[in-house]
Amino acid sequence: MTENLIIIGAGPAGLSAAIYAARGNLAPLVLTGQSLGGQIVLTNELENFPGFPEGITGLELAQLMQKQAERFGARLEADSVTRVDLQTRPFRVETQNGATYTARALIIATGASPRRLNVPGENELTGRGVSYCATCDGFFFRNKEIAVVGGGDSAMQESLFLTRFASKVHLIHRRDQLRAQPILQDRARAEPKITFVWNSVVKEIRGAGKVEGLVLENMQTRARSEIPVQGVFIYVGYIPNTELFRGQLEIDEEGYLKVDARQRTNIPGVFAAGEVHDRVFRQAIVSAGYGAMAEIEAERYLASL
Ligand SMILES: Cc1cc2nc3c(=O)[nH]c(=O)nc-3n(C[C@H](O)[C@H](O)[C@H](O)COP(=O)(O)OP(=O)(O)OC[C@H]3O[C@@H](n4cnc5c(N)ncnc54)[C@H](O)[C@@H]3O)c2cc1C
């Protein structure tokens, strides 16, 4: 059976597209990938998503969006797409669990994944003190000294969260100014457990079987130093999940899908939404908005067939 619409990804963009499509009676199939909720489940609390004046956890928000989509008939499958064929009509989508689907229209909402530092020790010690998710792993660092790498919103927000557990947080940033929103910067600067390490990059993560320390290099003096920490949380940006579409869809030099102002890719019937194309705003509400836009366009496209 050919689907009307397959949505690839279940972050705020994919789930919001699913709510719109389900209400439009399209009975969309959502292939969620490994993470129902996407990046929002990596953060403990969202304080800026409209409608939740007291804040809401990422997990709760994802569950509410899922419930809202399913209420109107969206079907969610916990499966990852491994191959797409966008040259044929209907489009073909193959998954990790061995399923092959066909669809008249597609919305790609595969989002982005954390960028790695690519330094010695990082791969070997991931899950052994190296983490990309404070909400998931913060609890293991009760009364321990840890480091957070980065200078943006995620680095500030997650450092503040980690002070609930850690005895001390070294916030390592390659510049002497932060990119984060002023409110987050102010909170981080006022937190006695956070110490800023400016103009510094991590050269190596050291430890035998678990993280024991970081080798840092000062960007101005090139002097190296070592700090003893038992954990390191890395927030140095994100890479769009677009490898699947390389060679079929137009992708820019940084790996983001190219879309027009109506979320259309270069192939009619294939739309994209969220951080898979948006490198600028990187907020849940913005991705949710793009999801709604992509779905409205997909509905118009389907009606025109
Ligand atoms: C630590 C942290 C804190 C944050 N804090 C906030 C905040 O306070 N407020 C805010 O507004 N935003 C916050 N954000 C940003 C917000 O999480 C993102 O903007 C938003 O999640 C992007 O949504 P998205 O749907 O575009 O992509 P993502 O959330 O990246 O979702 C991508 C989806 O695609 C799926 N997927 C990937 N590959 C495949 C595949 N091959 N097959 C099927 N599915 C696939 C994934 O499983 C996932 O479901 C934070 C992000 C992080 C990392």
CATH number at residue 33: 3.50.50.60
Q: Can you give the pLDDT at residue 136? A: 85
Instruction: List Cβ neighbours of 69 (8 Å cut-off, separation of 6 or more).
Output: 15, 18, 19, 22, 30, 76
Are residues 95 and 180 both part of a single domain?
A: no
- Give how many domains the chain has, as a whole number: 2
The residue from 188, 218, 234 where one domain ends is 234
Position in ligand 1 atom list of the atom nearest CA 135: 1
The parent domain of residue 75 ranges over 2-114+238-304
Q: Can you give the pLDDT at residue 293? A: 98
The verdict on the CB of residue 81 being under 6 Å from ligand 1 is yes
The residue from 204, 234, 264 where one domain ends is 234
Are residues 78 and 224 both part of a single domain?
A: no
Q: Which member of 79, 85, 136, 153 is catalytic? A: 136
Q: Can you give the pLDDT at residue 213? A: 98
The tokens for 301 are 């496209």
- Clarify whether 137 is annotated catalytic: yes
Question: What is the DSSP pairing of strand 270-272 with strand 238-240?
Answer: unpaired
One-letter amino acid at 118 equals N
* Among 266, 236, 240, 238, CA closest to 253: 240
Q: What is the pLDDT along the chain (305 residues), one digit of tens a residue?
A: 999 999 999 999 999 999 999 999 999 999 999 999 999 998 888 999 999 999 999 999 999 999 999 999 999 999 999 999 999 999 999 999 999 999 999 999 999 999 999 999 999 999 999 999 998 899 999 999 999 999 999 999 999 999 999 999 999 999 999 999 999 999 999 999 999 999 999 999 999 999 999 999 999 999 999 999 999 999 999 999 999 999 999 999 999 999 999 999 999 999 999 999 999 898 999 999 999 999 999 999 999 99
The residue from 207, 234, 261 where one domain ends is 234
Are residues 266 and 188 both part of a single domain?
A: no
The verdict on the CB of residue 39 being under 6 Å from ligand 1 is yes
Furthest-apart CA atoms within the chain: distance in Å = 64
**Cα torsion for 52, 49, 114, 124, to the nearest 10°?**
-10
Q: Can you give the pLDDT at residue 45? A: 87
Pocket test for ligand 1, best of 43, 48, 238, 281 (most atoms within 8 A of CB): 43
Are residues 140 and 244 both part of a single domain?
A: no
By alpha-carbon position, which residue is closest to atom 48 of ligand 1?
38
Q: Can you give the pLDDT at residue 135? A: 85
The CA 147 to ligand 1 mean position distance, Å, reads 23
The tokens for 202 are 């991590």
Are residues 93 and 140 both part of a single domain?
A: no
Are residues 141 and 110 both part of a single domain?
A: no
Are residues 67 and 127 both part of a single domain?
A: no
- Clarify whether 136 is annotated catalytic: yes
Neighbours of 130 (CB within 10 A): 23
Are residues 176 and 265 both part of a single domain?
A: no
